[in-house]
Structure 1
């Protein structure tokens, strides 16, 4: 992925933890969210990335797949 002159490479999926079920000021506590992620997405909702090429990222830069 490229964002500005930065290049990232994705290294693996990120297992989701219980934090997505926690109450926020506008959303109530909901354990069904984590159950859905586990059932529908194999409990993976996110990715780990490593910097392939360091670079500058500015507000408004578009992220694009390489």
Structure 2
């Protein structure tokens, strides 16, 4: 889960600048049935046990901008 190491870092994509702020706490929604995946409460238990209930990260917009198909993401720090 390399995105957990992104917290505190900044990224530019096109002219948009982001700052990754914190892990994304998970709720029961990740256990819900979808058209291709059955309901499974074990998913949330695993995320809580193995990842401290955080899967993914939140980002704040430091500088609004435009992102176009083909724009490369690059780290600022």
TM-score category of the 2 structures, normalised to the smaller one: 0.7 to 0.9
Residue 63 (str. 1) matches residue 73 (str. 2): yes
Q: Given the two structures, how large is their TM-score scaled by the length of structure 2?
A: 0.76
SS at match of 1:14: strand
Q: Given the two structures, how large is their TM-score scaled by the length of structure 1?
A: 0.87
Instruction: For structure 2, list consecutive stretches of 5 or more residues without a partner in the other structure.
Output: 1-10
Q: Which has the higher contact order (CA 8 A, sep 6+)?
A: 1
Q: Which residue of 2 aligns with 1:17?
A: 27
SS at match of 2:38: coil
Instruction: For structure 1, list consecutive stretches of 5 or more residues without a partner in the other structure.
Output: none
Deviation at 1:23, TM superposition (A): 0.3
Task: Output the CA distance in 2 between the equivalents of 1:63 and 1:17.
Answer: 29
Compute the RMSD of aligned alpha carbons. 1.2
Deviation at 1:63, TM superposition (A): 2.5
Return structure 1 stretches of 4+ with deviation > 6 angstroms: none
Q: 2:18 aligns with which of 1, 4, 8?
A: 8
